[in-house]
A and B are shown apart, each in its own frame.
Chain A
Amino acid sequence: MSRHDEVSSAGWRALRARPPRLAQAFRWVCDGAAIVMAIAAVTLCFLVLYPLFWLFYGSFSYGEQGLGAALVQFWQLPGLERAFFNTLYLVAGTVPLSFLIALPLVLITTRTDTPLKGLIEVAALLPFITPPLIGAVAWALLAAPRTGLVNVFARQLGATSPIVNIYTMGGLIFVMSLYLSPYVFVTVKAVMQHMDATLEDASRVAGASLVQTTRNILIPLSMPAILSAGILVLTRAIEEFAIPGVLGAPSGIYTVTTYIYYQAISYVPPRYEVAALLASLLMATTALCLFVQSRVLGGRQRYTTVAGKGHPPHMPRLGRWRYVTMAYALAYIALTVVLPYLVLIYAAFINAWGQPPTFSNLTLANVFATFDPVLPVRAGLLNSLLLAFFGATLATVLTVIIGYMISKGDLWLRSSLDFVSSIPLAMPGPVLAIALLWAYLRPPFVLYGTLWILLVAYVTHFLPYGVRTTTGSFRQISVELERSASMCGASRLAVFRDILLPLIRPGMLAGWMLMFISMIRELSSSIFLFVPGTETAAVTLLEMWQEARFANVAVLSLTLITISVLVVTLVRYLSGGAHLAGRY
Chain B
Amino acid sequence: MPSVRLDKLRKTFGNVAAVRNISIEFPEGRITSVLGPSGCGKTTTLNLIAGFLDPDSGAISFGDQIVADPARGIAVPSNRRNLGMVFQSYALWPHLSIGENVAYGLKMRKVPRAERNLAIRRALQRVRLETHIDRFPHELSGGQQQRVALARAIAYSPHILLFDEPLSNLDAQLREEMRLELKEIHRAIGVTAIYVTHDQAEAMSLSDTIVVMGEGEVLQVGTPRQLYEEPADVNVARFIGKTNVLEATLVDRQQDFARVMVRGIDGALRCRTSKSTPTDASGMLSIRPEAVRLRPSRVESIGMHGRLSSVVYLGSTAQFQVVLADGRTLEAQQATANSLQIGDEVGIEIDPERCYFIAGRSGPPRPAQ
Contacts and interface: CB of A to CB of B under 8 A. Distances in A.
Contacts of B92: 484
Given A1-B188, A7-B115, A7-B156, A487 B110 contact: no
B120 to A, nearest CB: 11
Interface in A1-59: 1, 4-5, 7-8, 10-12, 14-16, 18
Interface in A406-459: none
A583 interface: yes
Interface stretch (A464-472, A497-505, A521-529): A497-505
B115 to A, nearest CB: 7
B80 A18 contact: yes
Contacts of A155: none
A486 interface: yes
Contacts of A491: 77, 79
B83 A487 contact: yes
A4 B189 contact: yes
Contacts of A10: 109, 111
B196 interface: no
B223 interface: no
Q: Which of A5, A486, A487 has the most CB of B within 10 A?
A: A487
A490 interface: yes
B78 A483 contact: yes
B145 to A, nearest CB: 11
A348 B38 CA distance: 70
Contact of B108 (A488, A503, A581, A583): A488
Given A12-B159, A481-B91, A483-B91, A489 B109 contact: yes
A547 interface: no
Contacts of A7: 111, 115, 119, 156-157
A64 interface: no
A579 interface: yes
B334 interface: no
Contacts of A581: 138
A1 B108 contact: no
B85 interface: yes
A485 B104 contact: yes
Contact of B105 (A5, A489, A503): A489
A488 B91 CA distance: 12
A480 B153 contact: no
Contacts, number: 114
Given A10-B111, A11-B158, A488 B152 contact: yes
A480 B83 CA distance: 15
Contact of B93 (A16, A494, A499): A499
B52 interface: yes
B50 interface: yes
A65 interface: no
A446 B286 CA distance: 84
A195 B91 CA distance: 30
B142 interface: no
A481 B94 CA distance: 9
Contacts of B83: 487
A8 B87 contact: no
B95 A503 contact: yes
A80 B66 CA distance: 74
Interface string A544-584: 00000000000000000000000000000000001111011
Interface string B92-122: 1111000000001110111100010001000
B225 to A, nearest CB: 29
Nearest to A6: B157
A484 B161 CA distance: 12
B111 A486 contact: no
A15 B80 contact: yes
Chain A CB count within 10 A is highest, among B78, B84, B85, B111, for B78
Contacts of B222: none
A15 B110 CA distance: 9
B136 interface: yes
A581 B137 CA distance: 11
Given A1-B188, A487-B85, A488-B104, A11 B94 contact: no
A494 B87 contact: no
A540 B65 CA distance: 70
A8 B159 CA distance: 7
A489 B80 contact: yes
Given A485-B104, A487-B84, A580 B159 contact: no
Interface in B115-149: 115, 119, 136-138, 149
Nearest to B164: A480
A483 B50 contact: yes
A483 B85 contact: yes
B190 interface: yes
Nearest to A495: B79
A31 to B, nearest CB: 15
Contacts of B94: 503, 580, 583-584
A579 B138 CA distance: 9
A365 to B, nearest CB: 51
Residue of A1, A11, A483, A491 with most partner-chain B CB within 10 A? A11
B73 to A, nearest CB: 14
B162 to A, nearest CB: 8
A304 interface: no
A484 B87 contact: yes
A58 B153 CA distance: 61
A11 B82 contact: yes
A4 B157 CA distance: 6
A7 B85 CA distance: 17
A325 to B, nearest CB: 38
Q: Which of A486, A488, A584 has the most CB of B within 10 A?
A: A488
A161 interface: no
A492 to B, nearest CB: 8
A486 B95 CA distance: 17
B23 interface: no
Contacts of A485: 79, 93, 104
Contacts of A4: 157, 189-190
Contact of B104 (A5, A18, A498): A498
A11 B83 CA distance: 11
Contacts of B95: 502-503, 578-580
A59 B284 CA distance: 78
Given A14-B110, A478-B89, A584-B94, A487 B78 contact: yes
A16 B80 contact: yes
A11 B188 contact: no
Contacts of A1: 188-190
A14 B111 contact: yes
A39 B105 CA distance: 31
Contacts of A5: 157
Contacts of A483: 50, 52, 78, 85, 87, 91
A570 to B, nearest CB: 21
Contact of A12 (B82, B85, B110, B137): B82
A11 B109 contact: yes
Nearest to A578: B95
Contacts of A580: 94-95, 136, 138
Contacts of B88: 480
A344 B106 CA distance: 60
Contacts of A12: 82, 159
Interface of B: 50-52, 77-80, 82-85, 87-89, 91-95, 104-106, 108-111, 115, 119, 136-138, 149, 152-153, 156-159, 162, 188-190
Q: Give the top 9 A-B pairs by smallest Cβ distance, nearest first.
A: A488-B105, A8-B157, A489-B108, A480-B91, A484-B91, A486-B78, A11-B109, A14-B109, A487-B85
17 contacts: A4-B189, A4-B190, A8-B158, A8-B159, A10-B109, A12-B82, A14-B110, A15-B80, A478-B89, A480-B91, A483-B91, A484-B149, A486-B51, A487-B83, A487-B84, A489-B80, A583-B137
Interface of A: 1, 4-5, 7-8, 10-12, 14-16, 18, 478, 480-481, 483-491, 494, 498-499, 502-503, 578-581, 583-584
Given A7-B156, A15-B82, A18-B80, 8 more contacts: A4-B190, A11-B111, A14-B111, A481-B91, A484-B149, A487-B85, A490-B79, A581-B138
